[in-house]
Amino acid sequence: MKIYLDGKFVDQADAKISVFDHGLLYGDGVFEGIRLYGGNVFRLDEHLERLEYSAKAILLSMPWSRKEISDATCETCRQNGLQDGYIRLVVTRGVGDLGLSPWLCPKPSIFIIANKIALYPPETYTTGLSIVTVPTRRVNSAAFSPAIKSLNYLNNILAKIEAKQFGALEAILLNDQGYVAECTGDNIFIIHKGEIITPAASQGALKGITRSAIFDIAQELKLPIREADMTRYDVFNADEAFLTGTAAEVIPVVKLDGREIGTGKPGKITQRVLESFRRRVLTEGTRI
Ligand code: PMP
């Protein structure tokens, strides 16, 4: 496998980052997870815009243009002969000393990995996921904005571990006020009386690229969709639920905390959204 690392393509074994890189020492950096479908990179521009916003929010100035990053992303897929896969694009603060000071890191690093990903077992896309609410709360946006896709994922990792401890593959994280924020790496949607509902970014949800595609799909399918505060009560009383994410794609949810949602089977609207999503990813995107 060839990895793009700071302007060069190197073999996987030679793709190495310094132990003094603040991305490693402090999680000081930002990243994107991007999908490649049939030789098209799905919503690449939106991903690169979010990367720029994340970098700006942590005052990390990236010395590369969007075009340069976009070209490097496509070239990484080509170099690996990939037509379908998952791309991980990471920007770190770069090499510094052992103190926190980011201004002692003169040069950010960028690397791009193009590979495959399977977040959940394939059968869960037809049977639906059973998820749980975990004790770990979504990080408070006053402390650190959850809209920043940073290299600090311990909040999400702890929630993922707790989900496993409760025998589930995925978890709902509530925010510090008890509202549903999102899952460990996915946004959450419920369907109630024909309406699609998802928590707002202000409740601790990442502004997912797949999430925004769901708004376009709802428009195409003429289904009402809106952002709203969401509690566990709303999920328990929903007719259907599903999660979205670049790695997860669109996956039905049939149980929360041991309680069936709707009929306990993936719902009809979820199926329609999922089918529309699968069509859309093949036609939309940047050709590599
Ligand atoms: N929430 C979190 C915490 C995430 O890390 C992600 C991305 N894996 C998402 C939601 C979904 O966002 P996207 O659709 O852009 O992948």
Q: How many A from CA of 99 to the centre of ligand 1?
A: 30
Angle between helices 209-220 and 268-283 (to 10 degrees): 110
- What tens digit of pLDDT does each residue of 143-180 get? 999 999 999 999 999 999 999 999 999 999 999 999 99
**Mean pLDDT over residues 270-285, rounded?**
94
Span from the CA of 213 to the centroid of ligand 1 (angstroms)? 12
How far apart (Å, rounded) are the C-alpha atoms in residues 196 and 222?
11
Give the pLDDT mean for 32-46.
97
Q: What is the pLDDT of residues 180-231, one digit of tens each?
A: 999 999 999 999 999 999 999 999 999 999 999 999 999 999 999 999 999 9
pLDDT value of position 201: 94
Residue positions counted in the chain: 288
Ligand 1: residue of 187, 203, 249, 277 to mutate (most ligand atoms within 8 A of CB) is 187
Tell me what the mean pLDDT of segment 119-130 comes to.
Answer: 96
Helix 44-57 vs helix 66-79: angle between axes, to the nearest 10 degrees? 120
* Separation of CA 257 and ligand 1 centre (Å): 22
For a substitution probing ligand 1, which of 90, 188, 206, 212 has the most ligand atoms within 8 Å of its CB?
206
Kindly tell me if the per-residue pLDDT of 69 is higher than 90.
Answer: yes
Atom of ligand 1 nearest to the CA of 149: 5
Mean pLDDT of the chain: 97
> In the chain, what are the domains?
2-115 (3.30.470.10), 124-285 (3.20.10.10)
Given a cut of 90, is residue 284 above it in pLDDT?
no
Cβ atoms of residues 130 and 170 within 8 Å: no
